[in-house]
């Protein structure tokens, strides 16, 4: 369950030398209420704010539209110095940092993927999107795991697995969970790709290295 909602922070403004509408004493303290949206109680981004005033004698308090009309302008001006807490942007900053980290990590992974494809070895596992690459492919189940069988100077031969998947992640999970060890999994046909074709498929996001052969050996 995701816990989210709005909360508020109250920051004091300047004292106001005007009569309290409740007790007529001139002991008013202004403030500003800053609303913010939170997820799991972590401030995510700021919302609006309202000026308010409290009598320090009788504690009569009004906020926003409830402030008497004759006090609206002076209360708003006196509460201007109450600045919004910087930590109201904490969640926004964390999200920005996460996006930056994912972008950097994704770029590094893409570079590593290209390096692996540039130097394939027997036993490497690829996840391939066969849409547009072969006839008779079910567009709803286009992903297949393949295993490098032979590496030549110009071509790489892979054997296709017999199981097909609807998403790349499902194919990757099959590798992680050891489904490739099942009987007849590797009964599919062999395909040959030029080395440049492998790189081209990766750039089109149609081929990803699922596992290096040395990872299996480890």
In sequence order, the 6+-apart residues with CB closer than 8 A to the CB of 110 are none
What does the DSSP 8-state code read for residue 147? E
**Each residue of 34-75: pLDDT tens digit?**
999 998 888 999 999 999 999 999 999 999 999 999 999 999
Distance CA 95, CA 102 (A): 10
User: How is residue 73 written in tokens?
Assistant: 């302008």
- For 119-208, where are the alpha helices, taking DSSP H only? 168-176, 195-203
Domain ranges for the chain, please list them. 4-94, 121-217
Share of the chain above pLDDT 90, in %: 51
46-55 burial by CB neighbour count: b if 16+ within 10 A, else e?
A: beebbbbbbb
Quickly tell me which residue has 């089109």 as its tokens. 204
Q: Is 111 in a helix, a strand, or coil?
A: helix
Quote the pLDDT of residue 29: 95
pTM of the model: 0.56
Q: Tabulate helix, strand, coil % of the chain (nearest 5).
A: 35, 35, 30
CA angle 206-171-176, nearest 5°?
125
In this predicted structure, the answer to whether residue 217 has a pLDDT above a threshold of 60 is no
Distance CA 34, CA 47 (A): 7
**Each residue of 174-197: pLDDT tens digit?**
998 888 888 889 998 999 989 888
In sequence order, the 6+-apart residues with CB closer than 8 A to the CB of 49 are 32, 33, 34, 35, 84
Distance CA 108, CA 116 (A): 12
């Amino acid at each position: 369950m995701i816990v989210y909602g709005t909360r508020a922070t109250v920051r004091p403004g300047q004292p106001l030398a005007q009569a309290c509408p409740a007790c007529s004493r001139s002991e008013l303290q202004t403030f500003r209420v800053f609303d913010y949206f939170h997820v799991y109680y972590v401030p995510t981004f700021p919302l609006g704010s309202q000026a308010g005033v409290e009598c320090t004698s009788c504690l009569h308090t009004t906020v926003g539209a409830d402030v008497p009309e004759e006090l609206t302008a002076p209360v708003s001006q006196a509460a201007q110095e109450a600045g919004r807490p910087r930590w109201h942007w904490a969640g926004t900053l964390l999200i920005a940092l996460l996006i930056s980290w994912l972008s950097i990590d994704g770029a590094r992974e893409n570079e590593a993927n290209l390096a692996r494809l540039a130097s394939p070895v027997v036993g490497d596992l690829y996840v391939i999107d066969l849409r547009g690459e072969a006839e008779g492919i079910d567009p709803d189940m286009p992903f297949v795991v393949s295993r490098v069988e032979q590496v030549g100077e110009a071509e790489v031969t892979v054997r296709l697995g017999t199981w097909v998947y609807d998403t790349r992640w499902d194919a990757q999970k099959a590798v992680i969970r050891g489904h490739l060890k099942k009987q007849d999994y590797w009964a599919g046909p062999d395909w040959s790709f030029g080395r440049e074709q492998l790189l081209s498929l990766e750039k089109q996001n149609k081929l990803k290295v699922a596992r290096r052969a040395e990872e299996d050996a480890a």
